[in-house]
Every structure is written in C-alpha cells, then in structure tokens.
C-alpha cells in the first residue's frame, strides 16, 4: 500500500510539473492582516480585532472566527491581561508579538518573527525563524529557533527555554552586542533570569563555516517537455482502512547557523536612547514557575 501511495504521489507530481503553463503559475497572496487579541472582561473570553486593539470600538469577535479567516503571512498581537491564552492557528504566521501577556500559548505551523516584550510570558509551538525576547520576558519555544535575539532595554533578565535547536543567539542592547553563540543542540538552550545555563559542550562560541551555495547554471536545467493535456493519469483509490503510523518527531541535528547581520545603529536616526538599562525588576520566580508548569503540561498533553 505504501508503494502504491508513493506511485500515486509521484504521478500526481509529474502531472503538475508537465502541465503546460504550470511554470508560469503565480500565486497572488493577499496582504497580511494584523489581528490583535485581548481578553474582554465583559464577554469573559479572549477576542480578536483586526488591526490595533481599540477599547472604544466593540468590533471584536470570538476567536472561532479568527481561526476561519487567518491565513499564511498574517500577524498576531497578544495584548496584555490577567488571563491565559491557548490558541492554535494552523498557518505560517509572519509575526507574533506578545505585549505584556500573562501566559499566552500560540501554536502555529511556523512563525517568521516572534517578539516577546517586557513583562510577557509566552509559549510558541512551531518553528521560529527570528525570536526576539526583551528584558524580563519569559519565553518557551517548543520547536527549533533559527535566530534568537535577547535584547536588554531596561534589564536583561530573560528566562528562555528552547526545546528544539537554536542556530544563533545574540545578546545585547541597543548599543552593543554582549555575546554571540552558535549551534545549540536540541533541548539544550536554557537561560534563567539572564544567565545562560546550557552546558558549554552543547553549543559553540564560533560560527561554523557555511559552504556558499553556488547558483546553478540556468542552462543546465532539464527542459520540461509539454504533455498532451488530454492524457490523464488514473488515480488508484487508497485503502482508507490502512493507517500510517505517525513517526514521532526526532529532534533535528544542529543546523548550520545563519549568521545574521547585526543591526547597525548608524543605519538608524540619531535619537537619544531613553531606555532604563540598569533598573532591576522584581524576580519572576512565580511567573517562571507558572510558565514552566504550563509548558510541561502542554507538552505532556501533546505527547
């Protein structure tokens, strides 16, 4: 049966490739939409609003509708509050911003950019390309993170855990870079209140040499011969009784780091930096406890 499935898949793929005009196929993606999420006290539930949240505007709706309308590339902003949020969005998100969130768990296929702002507690399920964690935020990433930026604006006391791998970590503030680390093994990145707890054997302080990918010669591409569209490929029905066992996800091997270009202050306008760099916030032990407990329960639930 598996073989049959493979053959069907290959035939379907070949059909798509050989269809005249398929190479000109264009996908016109709609503009990304920003959804602000906030707990509405008088409704007793989390709601969403398209665009920035406006307390004066009652145009917010139940999250049920958000799940119907959200699409790849959209943006989520979780606004602060006293209530937990656990939301599954089966799309590839462009951005998630946690803005003073109490405990917010977002599950997505993947996220391009995650911003966990000061005083936020966030859990993200799904691979993340760029994760930005600020000040005293608490964040748990349950899949791989490509680039993790730990930024100190007022204080650098982030508590962060990553279940997957982390290719690149940079700590610093608006003025300078403190540290750069590379290639954290799966389930090894731990930072507690600003202190890296990962065993030194599980990451590197020097970037790996990345073999440049040479652009392929366009002339070397194999021409695709047009096929008579009248020819159809028979699709053999698949036996529905046969179930394919789900292979548990194995933590991936450390990936080659994507060395990003550090933000250069000279690129930005010269405006006085008025962050509170040295204030020491209160301990987040309780928050961290709640966060790790919830993350653990979530993990058990999903296992």
Per CB under 8 A, residues contacting other proteins are 56, 97, 99, 115, 117-118, 132, 134-135, 151, 153-155, 174, 263, 267-269, 271-279, 281
8 Å CB contact between 135 and 116: no
Choice between 64 and 268, CB closer to other proteins: 268
Q: For residues 86 and 153, which CB has a smaller minimum distance to other proteins in the complex?
A: 153
Q: Which of 157, 102, 92, 99 is nearest to 128 (CA)?
A: 92
Residue whose CB is less far from other proteins, 154 or 190: 154
If the CB atoms of residues 239 and 276 are measured against other proteins, the closer one turns out to be 276
Shortest Å distance, C-beta 220 to other proteins: 38
Return the number of the residue (30 or 261) whose C-beta is nearest other proteins.
Answer: 261
Shortest distance, CB of residue 137 to other proteins, whole angstroms?
9
3-state class (DSSP) for residue 128: strand
Least spacing, CB of residue 58 vs other proteins, in Å: 15
Q: Name the minimum Å distance from CB 82 to other proteins.
A: 16
Task: Identify the H or E element spanning 295.
Answer: helix 285-302
Cα distance between residue 121 and residue 134, in whole Å: 11
Q: Which is nearer to other proteins, 42 or 264 (CB)?
A: 264
Q: How far apart are CA 189 and CA 142, in angstroms?
A: 11
Q: How far is the CB of 242 from other proteins (least distance, A)?
A: 50
- 133 touches 112 (CB < 8 A): no
Contact 61, 40 (CB under 8 A): no
Give bridge partners of residue 53 from the DSSP assignment.
Answer: none
Residue 197 backbone class (left: φ over 0; alpha: ψ -120 to 50; beta: rest): alpha
Residue with tokens 């109490």: 102
Q: How far is the CB of 273 from other proteins (least distance, A)?
A: 7
Alpha carbon distance 148, 124 (integer Å) = 13
Inter-CA distances, 22 with 7, 48, 185, Å: 21, 38, 41
Min CB(131)–other proteins separation in Å: 13
Tell me whether residue 219 or residue 267 sits nearer to other proteins (CB atom): 267
């Amino acid at each position: 049966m598996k073989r049959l499935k493979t053959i069907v898949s290959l035939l379907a793929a070949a059909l798509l490739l050989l269809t005249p005009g398929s190479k000109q196929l264009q996908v016109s993606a709609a503009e990304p939409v920003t959804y602000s999420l906030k707990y509405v006290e008088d409704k007793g539930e989390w709601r969403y609003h398209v665009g920035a949240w406006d307390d004066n505007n009652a145009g917010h709706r139940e999250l049920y509708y958000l799940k119907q309308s959200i699409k790849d590339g959209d943006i989520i902003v979780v606004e602060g509050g006293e209530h937990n949020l656990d939301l599954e969005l089966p799309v590839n998100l462009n951005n998630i911003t946690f803005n003073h969130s109490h405990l917010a768990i977002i599950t997505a296929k993947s996220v391009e950019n995650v911003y966990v702002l000061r005083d936020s507690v966030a859990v993200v399920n799904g691979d993340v390309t760029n994760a930005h964690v600020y000040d005293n935020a608490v964040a748990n990433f349950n899949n791989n993170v490509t680039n993790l930026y730990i930024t100190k604006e007022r204080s650098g006391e982030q508590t962060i855990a990553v279940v997957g791998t982390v290719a690149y970590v940079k700590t610093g503030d608006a003025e300078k870079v403190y540290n750069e680390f590379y290639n954290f093994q799966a389930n090894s990145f731990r930072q507690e209140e600003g202190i890296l707890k990962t065993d030194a054997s599980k990451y590197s302080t020097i970037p790996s040499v990345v073999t440049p990918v040479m652009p392929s010669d366009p002339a070397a591409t194999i021409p695709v011969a047009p096929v008579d569209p009248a020819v159809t490929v028979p699709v053999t029905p698949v036996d529905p009784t046969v179930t394919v066992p789900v292979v548990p996800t194995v933590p991936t091997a450390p990936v080659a780091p994507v060395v990003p270009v550090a933000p250069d202050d000279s690129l930005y306008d010269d405006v006085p930096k008025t962050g509170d760099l040295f204030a020491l916030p209160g301990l987040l032990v309780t928050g961290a406890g709640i966060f790790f407990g919830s993350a653990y329960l979530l993990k058990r639930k999903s296992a």
